Amino acid sequence: MANETANKSKDMQYIIVGVGGQGILFTSRVLGKIAIDKGLPIVGSEVHGMAQRGGSVISHFKVGSFFGPLVSDGHADVVMAFDQKEGIRNLSFLKEGGTFLVNTNCAAMFENDHLKKYIADRKIRVCKFKGFHILDEHMEGNYLFLNVLILGAAAGLKIPGFEEDRVAAALKELAPPKHIDSNLKVFGLGIKAASA
């Protein structure tokens, strides 16, 4: 019984959303690598839509004692949004008290009274960061690193499954060798952004 409780405490459900070309599937691969290295079971599913044309992309990802790959509405521990419109559109996946990690480029969108009430009523923890601005300033506008930036922000927030040392190790193993130094730099920028 104690073992079963310990396993349940490691169960996590993630929704990762954005648009095609933002590296959402790579983020899922990093999550998977971390879980497998811990000896935890994983299951997931990706829905692409028109990914190559900048259409919606959503990745359902579960770590722990799950069977079905899809996260039900109101059950995700974390929604990670590379695009704020996609994040808000998929916010219903998040459970009460869950974490909404979102790359923002229009703060006014979060001033909507209905959205503010929904977030407050469900006690959602919101972490907004200006990913494009950070990449403009530090990476000459190379937005291909947005996925690593959001991984850093997740690690900076201490979200389970994104332990800093494990994410860094997964990046070193999964990223192309020529981009490892840049990835680690951006990962550090994401950690810093989460505490800003």
CATH number of 111's domain:
3.40.920.10
Secondary element (H or E) of residue 168? helix 164-174
Strand partners, 57: 18
Quick: pLDDT tens for 49-90.
555 556 888 999 999 999 899 999 999 999 999 999 999 999
Cα separation, 141 vs 175, whole angstroms: 19
**Which domain, by its residues, includes 172?**
2-194
Radius of gyration in angstroms for the set of CA atoms belonging to the chain, rounded to a whole number:
16
Cα separation, 87 vs 71, in Å, equals 15
Predicted local confidence at residue 36, as pLDDT? 94
Whole-structure pTM value: 0.90
* 78-89: pLDDT as tens digits: 999 999 999 999
Number of domains comprising the chain:
1
Taking the C-alpha atoms of residue 6 and residue 22, their distance in angstroms, rounded to an integer, is 34
Q: Cα separation of 47 and 34, whole Å?
A: 22
Q: Edge-to-edge, what's the strand order for the sheet holding 12-19?
A: 42-47, 56-63, 12-19, 76-81, 94-103, 125-129
pLDDT of residue 5: 36
Q: Which segments of the chain have a pLDDT < 70?
A: 1-9, 47-54
